[in-house]
Amino acid sequence: MMNNKSNQKVLLGLSGGVDSAVSALLLKKQGYQVISCFMKCFSDTKDPLTGECSWNKDKKDAQKIAAQLEIPFIQLDLEKQYKKEVILPMIKEYKIGKTPNPDIACNTIIKFPWLLKEAKELGCNFIATGHHARIKKTKTGFQLLQGKDKDKDQSYFLSELSQEDLSHTLFPVGDLTKEKVRKIAKMHKISVWNKLGTRGICFVGKVNIKSFLEKAIPHKLGVVLSSEGETIGTHPGIQYYTIGQRVHPSIGININKPKYLSQDKLYIAKKTGKTLIVAKEDSPLLEKSEIKIKNLHLINNKDKIPKLIQARIRHLGEMHPGRLIKKDNNFRFIPNKSIRAVAPGQFLVLYNKQICLGCGEITE
């Protein structure tokens, strides 16, 4: 990276949140010429109080931040691409019983490629986002590191990025805690300093996934089996449920418990066809001692993978120590201790201490 940052331009993804706002502030203070870019990807979600499309509020916040920091503001309308390349594949995966992670796809397919494309057209040297992650340049290339704030670390969602992506990317708040980010924003009177972080599906926001899927996938009534193979209930569709989820009437599953299960909590242990298999909390059906993955992506394939690494099956989930092996032309993660509630379609993200090595999709 050149020392004379005043000659370097950065295209920053400005979401309207505090992390990207402080990222813009820090880059400007470092001397970069910053251009802010708001990405419109989904307009169906509405604020329950105002009835206004959620992206409109975020855009107004982003415009206000750009005006306050005196940086140019542009908008990319990527709704068509986002629905085609992220939402529709996600729905397709749910339809066949998988539990996909659209946030990883969102970064890999939409956010980073389109920011980089626009950056090149604008003559920018880098792109930047407000992600809590870090990038380290080594002799063999670039490494993706966890953010300093382990409670806000977003490396899980960035685990499909490539060397090309990392070589052109800056994460200005990666070395800061969320508390420090808010303090900086408050000190500089940035309007969104206390705005709550976004939750739910990337760009879609916080939605009830069952309600979201009901609009896209028709009900397909199925049966519920006990781990002993006995039919004990019905459900409206496998797409609404995930492995490890507790069975309860409030989620639409009707169970007539036999006497031997009457006092036990039941959890979804397996999905096969239109059938849900449920089991008691201590059932071995809920545990995996070997996890098969497909489409293994290594961020830097020049770096040797240590014998003992760690893996997560969900964002900010427990770090499970274990080994990555190749067996029958497939990669498998062998944890030191079995992992509970592993769902096909989820991503297994691999780590060597604070280094995010890459990821793969969990298969049956």
Please give the positions annotated as active site: 106, 202
Angle, helices 178-187 vs 18-29, to 10°: value is: 70
Of all residues in the chain, what percent are helix, strand and coil, respectively (each to 5)? 30, 30, 40
Give the C-alpha separation, 49 to 42, whole Å. 19
Radius of gyration of the chain (CA): 22
| Residue 138 three-state SS | strand
C-beta atoms surrounding 303 within 10 Å: 17
| Residue 215 three-state SS | coil
Residue 274: name the closest of 312, 222, 332, 346 by CA.
222
Q: Which two tokens stand for residue 310?
A: 């760690």
Q: Write the CB contacts of 217 (distance below 8 Å, at least 6 apart in sequence).
A: 91, 94, 95, 237, 239
Give the C-alpha separation, 162 to 300, whole Å. 8
Give the C-alpha separation, 360 to 295, whole Å. 5
